[in-house]
Structure 1
């Protein structure tokens, strides 16, 4: 009898663990901006969690055992792809194919991809040190979440995948997608208006992350300090930037919250150029229905406050 009770307790404990595991199942995104899109689509359906803590960079993150467990328990894992988040490739091997979504590998995203720095930036020259490490990003610019067009396609893909996994939630998922698309269209209009007055102002960014956003809104970047933020720019690149700053071609130089290299201050010292900060990861913006629009708006404000 005691033996039977023990067995029963163990069985109850195991099923409680399973229920607890199911309760914590969520959409897990690699980075916060993908969390903004996912949380809008999954709102009221399943929670959304972000793997990378604020302040961490997807370029050099290392997973903890608890992170690997979260990936395995996830309802769906959404990431950019191996060119940006190489640290995820191995850990996603045991995760079922229908429970992971790589944005860069979506057929509908492929035509929207922009070439990486080595292909479209000939006029700024290259340090040997940089080109040698340029492959870190692969052939394409992987900062896809900064493109409203890619965000829309990503939202549709997350909706479709969650619909496969939870067909009983169809009405809610459909309504969430419609709301996301409407809000995105409205935000897009508002930001185009807001950014128009600063479109022709030249500036430098710290790393090659903003191409999709800049192209979409017609901004005028003069270049960037580095392709891969883990690698300090070489002397030749710094000299070129310094020359353009002295000739007053740039109004502003932007750092990032994740990377505040002294090199930016040093290059801008003694010139009239202003310093700003661009946050490509939306640090501190809470996940929710409006968070992707809030993120694009915050980024636009960061541009305008320095360029105006």
Structure 2
């Protein structure tokens, strides 16, 4: 009778080590915010894992890196971020990485011509005094351009191309899969772009207010008509002058909808719309309920489109 031989710990460890020698090395990708993780995950699908630095519910506007975050960044083979004007918490950590280990999307030659200007000066014109004073130390929009780059389908495509090129450098043995992933992403993006264009066509020209100035790229791409935004910095409530102006425009029916956000639901939005016929909706600029994966960026755009359309149409 044969007795079953139980493997010892040393045997198992030896087998694990031998297996590790035969497996291709994986290059972990770390994206600063979730929508960048969506784009990276589409290209890296089936090739290498993608992690998102900011946890759900955290704001890219005021996040502070934890020691565990710094460790993840240092151990990553590739870090994808927007730039210092968006993630003010990133430059020091990224600056300590070896050359070629990060992609700053706003600095890409293919992205720079697509940047559009921010709106902080416009906000200050509405709110002299306290709000402008408070924003003086806020770096998110103090650059020349709006940095919510993931809201642009075209910038997302250029970002995917850049991530694809960098992963090819890191993992040349995975060229076929990486090429197929990029081709799939571009095809799905083109299809979604056409569908969203059709979905939003009936609501072009309808005015609305968003909570903060995060959607300019999406709105410009699809021809939507934002009446205005409550604030540039979502951490600071809009001042009295700004609220009075918004209230006046709502009463005069210049807007049919006001949008809050999942992570920012200030009572001021409900208060300013009270007593009007203006509808309330929610826009999610970070895709908080979406899990990064092969088609997550397309899902993100489609979800955003549906959020716009449902409120503006009155559905």
Whether the TM-score (by the shorter chain) exceeds 0.5 is yes
Match of 2:118 in 1: 116
- Is 1:77 aligned to 2:79, yes or no? yes
Matches within 5 A, 1:124-163: 125-132=126-133, 133=135, 136=139, 137=141, 138-163=143-168
Match of 2:98 in 1: 96
Which structure has more helix as a fraction of its residues?
1
- Is 1:285 aligned to 2:287, yes or no? no
- Is 1:216 aligned to 2:221, yes or no? yes
CA contact (8 A) 1:117 1:208 kept: yes
CA contact (8 A) 1:25 1:73 kept: no
Q: Displacement of 1:164 after TM fit?
A: 1.2
* Structure 1: tracts of 5 or more residues without a match: 1-8
Q: Displacement of 1:127 after TM fit?
A: 3.2
- Structure 1 stretches of at least 4 aligned residues deviating more than 4 Å after TM superposition: 22-25, 121-124
Cα RMSD, aligned residues only: 2.2
Per-residue CA deviations over 1:62-109 (Å, capped at 9, x if unaligned) read 111111111011120000110010111111222112110111111111
Match of 2:28 in 1: 26
CA contact (8 A) 2:26 2:48 kept: no
CA contact (8 A) 1:127 1:237 kept: no
* Structure 2: tracts of 5 or more residues without a match: 1-9
> SS at 1:87's partner residue?
coil
Match of 1:269 in 2: 274
Rounded Cα–Cα distance in structure 1 between residues aligned with 2:306 and 2:260: 15
Normalising by structure 1, report the TM-score: 0.90
Match of 1:6 in 2: none
Match of 2:173 in 1: 168
Rounded Cα–Cα distance in structure 2 between residues aligned with 1:123 and 1:275: 25
Rounded Cα–Cα distance in structure 1 between residues aligned with 2:25 and 2:36: 22
CA contact (8 A) 1:203 1:222 kept: yes
Rounded Cα–Cα distance in structure 1 between residues aligned with 2:270 and 2:191: 37
Rounded Cα–Cα distance in structure 1 between residues aligned with 2:123 and 2:74: 43
Match of 2:5 in 1: none
Q: Displacement of 1:165 after TM fit?
A: 1.4
> SS at 2:228's partner residue?
strand
CA contact (8 A) 1:130 1:227 kept: no
Rounded Cα–Cα distance in structure 2 between residues aligned with 1:118 and 1:88: 22
Question: Which piece of structure 1 moves more, 71-80 or 23-32?
Answer: 23-32
Matches within 5 A, 1:191-270: 191-270=196-275
